[in-house]
Structure 1
Amino acid sequence: MNAAVQLTEVSKVYGTGPGSVTALDGVTHGFAEGTFTAVMGPSGSGKSTLLHCAAGLDSPTSGDVQLVGRSLRGLNETALTELRREHVAFVFQSFNLMPTLTVRQNVVLPLTLAGKSPDRAWVSEVIQRVGLGDRVRHRPSELSGGQQQRVAIARALAARTAITFADEPTGALDTATALEVLSLLRDQSRAQGQTIVMVTHDPVAASYADRVVFLVDGRIVSEAARPTPESVAAQLAQLSSRSKVSP
């Protein structure tokens, strides 16, 4: 299978000299088209840094990242923005909602900025499935934190991009909504061929993915296919004991 996202010998070092911190240490990994991958590891293992470098939001200190077959090395910010706008959606812990726009307007905003016409039926379905069907005319200030997170998730899925990066997308959600969102992510991968890369600390969330990639101290140390909550929890416990940093 072709890799929608390919990292080759990617390292990321913050700072210089004795006080420098290596967040990623020579990571080589491909995320195949149409797959749903969970990225897990102890706190401080480099999960969010991996996501940010893979998405082109942060530049590696060394190594190469390719998105949909195109290397990010040497691209200026305009070219990066255009590439992400066309092929990538994000669900990060900061919701980045426009305060003056309604739920529906926030959901379709990336499509509007890209000059694309939203699929109204699909937008309505996504909003309904994240539990905001009765909030479409509300603005962010009228929503709880969990509801704002649902808007961010709906916005990412409504765009039907080739790749979605998600950093703890269900962390602020109640259990029922979290499971619905995870099912929606899985459906997007299987039915629509979308590549989804999700950072999570939750073994239940990870069990919705096709596979789990485990990081320790900036390195991928193992993978697991067809994960279950129990197998993921056991692996995390084992890896946490090996990590330099306690979870």
Structure 2
Amino acid sequence: MSSRFPTRPRSRTPVQLHQVTKVYGRSGRAVRALDELSLALPAGTFTAVMGPSGSGKSTLLHCAAGLDAPTSGSVVLADRPLDGLTEDQLTVLRRERAAFVFQSFNLMPTLNVTQNVGLPYVLAGRRPDPHAVMEAIERVGLADRAHHLPAELSGGQQQRVAIARAVAGGAEVLFADEPTGALDTATAGRILALLRSAVDETGQTIMMTTHDPVAASFADTVVFLVDGRIADHMTRPTATQVADRLVGLAARPATGAR
């Protein structure tokens, strides 16, 4: 199925982290969420980030997206080093080059599904592409809810709207934090196929955190975090291989990095 999602000029390596450390708190109560972590995501790739709770998955995603500043190290997003950018500059960069799917759906309560999905166009000063917007809505299975308000949708349906919004605008990088966590198995499969097609058909780059080996199997690469460090990685993953690797990592003794 050919896609009507827009394409834009892409960076060759739109996400780059070099020796990134993130520490929360001070002195004896300090928590090292990321520990000198380096990672580069080539354009048009789908990377799943996995690890036990507290391993640093969400912190990694937030630092990569410019939503949180590292304690040390450097981050480059869409060819722009983030160090030294003002909050206004970061906001513009994220709005123009990135899209987000988080566990809080962040839908506008007074806008219907179609208007919410088209909102990134409006915020960027562009006219929404009705074909791309409707295609995204159809692909998440909400064509019959296109004119409903968020309050008229279930939590899972709201999550699907957030995912449609993220892919419809053709952003260079899509950051997704547990995007299928609130969805049933069949709907999750449809959403993951949509994310996969956004990579394959439009060259989007996706970084997704997940606990689900099946979700991770849709990615090109799985990065496994333990104690804020990359403990392992896997290319062309299968759900069984991912599950086995997670079991092996869980059996490792703690390193003390956290």
Fold shared per TM-score above 0.5: yes
Q: Match for residue 144 of structure 1? A: 154
Any gaps of 5 or more consecutive residues in structure 2? Answer: 1-10
1:16: Cα distance to partner?
Answer: 0.4
> What is the percent sequence identity of the aligned residues?
63
In the alignment, the residues of structure 1 paired with residue 65 and residue 88 of structure 2 have an alpha-carbon distance, to the nearest angstrom, of 15
TM-score by length of 1: 0.97
1:163: Cα distance to partner?
Answer: 0.3
Secondary structure of the structure 1 residue equivalent to 2:38: strand
Letter in 1 for 2:72: S
In the alignment, the residues of structure 1 paired with residue 18 and residue 196 of structure 2 have an alpha-carbon distance, to the nearest angstrom, of 26
Letter in 1 for 2:53: S
Tell me if 1:176 matches 2:189. Answer: no
In the alignment, the residues of structure 2 paired with residue 243 and residue 38 of structure 1 have an alpha-carbon distance, to the nearest angstrom, of 23
1:236 corresponds to which of 241, 246, 254: 246
Tell me if 1:37 matches 2:75. Answer: no
TM-score by length of 2: 0.93
Aligned residues: 245
2:172 corresponds to which of 147, 162, 169: 162
Any gaps of 5 or more consecutive residues in structure 1? Answer: none
Secondary structure of the structure 1 residue equivalent to 2:131: helix
Contact 1:217 1:243 in 2 (8 A): no
Tell me if 1:226 matches 2:236. Answer: yes
Q: Match for residue 72 of structure 1? A: 82
In the alignment, the residues of structure 1 paired with residue 229 and residue 253 of structure 2 have an alpha-carbon distance, to the nearest angstrom, of 11
List per-residue Cα deviations over 1:187-232 (Å, max 9, x = no partner): 1111111100000000000000011001000001111000000000
2:120 corresponds to which of 110, 119, 124: 110
Query: How much is the aligned-residue C-alpha RMSD, in angstroms?
Result: 1.2
Q: Match for residue 127 of structure 1? A: 137
1:244: Cα distance to partner?
Answer: 3.6
1:243: Cα distance to partner?
Answer: 5.8
